[in-house]
Structure 1
């Protein structure tokens, strides 16, 4: 195009609509700026939770680095207009060492800093991530890495930890008892999911291997476990174990619930089992809540 030097970046920008910045009148130094969030007057209601969520952040779970998804929030008094959102990330950064360790000790440290930085009565944190761990094939004992999704939730009110929850979602295999009963041979089976959310008792010491304990309760009660690596001899063992241990979702949820209720550091829990049915277009599920 005649008259325009497109080799010049500024000329290209002007051609596509960019304009020069205006000479503003508002202050540029922080100390001269209006702090709108700290406005004090009657704003009609206090707020239970305000903060950020869907925050992707590096975490360390067990022996492996992973990616966590965080929600962090505090309360807000009636006479305060808003919170300082940037302080939420600053609080999380205090525990970042090539990732935040996803455990209750670290979460409580973050909540303490968050509460202090925000000058609010209560604070809460929820984090989810994928836990990677070693698992061996049942017969050949070949090592590989398996995974399960985990969830941590904690709430502070004043200086008291009022809620502490741990969740896990694991994958298993179920074989249909009805199909086995009515068929001359074989039985349909499918991959299933078990999701638990545990209320942790603060007065009891949490075992170091609590993740392994919960995971074992999920998969040991299924028709069979899932493995990252299976050789032919392993596959035979897994297949036959499933046939020997048929499970409805109703069976599975009750067996899992029994093992969870037997843990003295668990006050109560929610369990959900879901089968991706292999002979239907729909899933089958069951849910159960229990409080000691």
Structure 2
């Protein structure tokens, strides 16, 4: 049969990324407390396409995933990239894996157990020199209390839930749990899935005693990361879903070390 994809393209324009998106696939992630955690990932796979070829072979992306027999391990990222380059005759390969990660947390006073979900993402690429780049991203919900509101009010202060998105490049492996803990420490207070009345009292008072702007949170996270010699690069942004404004507050810091 005619291989249309391998036919010559005369427009003389290379394609930087071509591939498949939104593949749902079982995934095993390393868990600091339990050894491993099984979850479901959403996967994007791309390669570059030289200017002389009309198209890539989309089915080969799926064939590569199927080699893992329905259970992809996050530690096999480099192997997948190498397979993509080889089977698709590409100079560069790109892999994006997004997945929910669950951590068991105890409420602060009654020690009631509950699972917290954290959205995570691994973005990896491998170039023609066989150099591999990997970025780990975690999304951590937090609580903040507005310092300005507390300062000018006789009673109370407005508080809101926020989201911290932290992405890092590192020398040695980093645990998701450690990144989550770092971020939560920099918030006015952590977010929990289960709170009894004594817990709610603690969380409310803890946040009130520790007010922070988005600028405070993003700077505190950046300060902690700058002290970590294992971190090569980071980007942290904070978005507060304001409770008394018709907008969100936002701050971002990106640094190469």
TM-score, normalised via structure 2 length? 0.92
RMSD (Å) for aligned C-alpha atoms: 1.6
Max Rg structure: 1
Name the CA distance, whole Å, in 2 between partners of 1:175 and 1:286: 16
User: Displacement, 1:39?
Assistant: 1.5
Name the CA distance, whole Å, in 2 between partners of 1:96 and 1:79: 34
Q: Deviations over 1:44-80 (max 9, x none)?
A: 0222211111222232334443332211011112222
Secondary structure at the residue paired with 1:251? Answer: helix
Contact in 2 for aligned 1:125/1:154 (Cα 8 Å): yes
Secondary structure at the residue paired with 2:191? Answer: coil
Q: Which residue number corresponds to residue 27 of structure 2?
A: 59
148-157 or 88-97: which moved more? Answer: 88-97
TM-score, normalised via structure 1 length? 0.82
Q: Which residue number corresponds to residue 94 of structure 1?
A: 67
Deviating beyond 4 angstroms after TM superposition, the runs of 4 or more aligned structure 1 residues are: none
Name the CA distance, whole Å, in 2 between partners of 1:41 and 1:285: 45
Secondary structure at the residue paired with 1:160? Answer: coil
Secondary structure at the residue paired with 2:207? Answer: helix
User: Displacement, 1:229?
Assistant: 1.1
User: Displacement, 1:159?
Assistant: 5.1
Q: Which runs of 5+ in 1 are unaligned?
A: 1-32
Contact in 2 for aligned 1:95/1:110 (Cα 8 Å): no
Tell me if 1:164 matches 2:134: yes
Contact in 1 for aligned 2:78/2:132 (Cα 8 Å): no
39-48 or 258-267: which moved more? Answer: 39-48
Q: Which residue number corresponds to residue 48 of structure 1?
A: 16
Name the CA distance, whole Å, in 2 between partners of 1:261 and 1:130: 27
Name the CA distance, whole Å, in 2 between partners of 1:122 and 1:256: 33
> Normalized per residue, which structure has more strand?
2
Q: Which residue number corresponds to residue 134 of structure 1?
A: 104
Name the CA distance, whole Å, in 2 between partners of 1:212 and 1:277: 27
